[in-house]
Amino acid sequence: MNEEEIIRQIDAYIQSAETPDDMRALARSQNALPIYLDMGGCIALRTGGTFIFHPWDTQEFNRDVNPAWQIIALVHGSGKYPSLTSLLPTRNAGDLDCQFCKGTGHFVMGSKTYDRILCGKCFGLGWTNSYLESLKP
Ligand SMILES: [Zn+2]
């Protein structure tokens, strides 16, 4: 997703009748596209390719989103905005399939793959390398 498309998608998000009022206000005031929402808050992509984290029920917009969460937000958001995958780390020769999710990027237990839950070991990428390993807490 390039700069022009980020701007276009933020605008479309603000215009959409499906966007809740509080999220529309967030997108407008922060110039940001919400791409990941969970119980704790929302991660949004800003123009310039930076990220903000907004904890619910606060006025905080934290610009220091750690790289692991940036990847998780991009993987999650690419379900709705496929071109976000262009902002993900690139897999290189020598990078390995994630052994925990068998390369699926989704949580696996036994023979079942949970498509709605991202693998926490590879941030949903399905592969890993020394850089990604270094991001783990
Ligand atoms: Zn994995």
pLDDT in tens, 35-70: 999 999 999 999 989 999 999 999 999 999 999 999
Task: Please enumerate in sequence order all residues whose Cβ is within 8 A of that of 101, keeping only pairs 6 or more positions apart, or say none.
Answer: 107, 108, 113, 119, 121, 122, 126
Identity at 135, one-letter amino acid code: L
* Ligand 1 centroid, distance to 61 Cα (angstroms): 29
* Domain regions of the chain by residue span: 3-87, 96-134
Provide the whole-model pTM.
Answer: 0.93
How far, in Å, from the CA of 31 to the mean position of ligand 1? Answer: 32
Interval 80-135: pLDDT, tens: 999 999 999 999 999 999 999 999 999 999 999 999 899 999 999 999 999 999 99
Report CA(4)–ligand 1 centroid distance (Å): 31
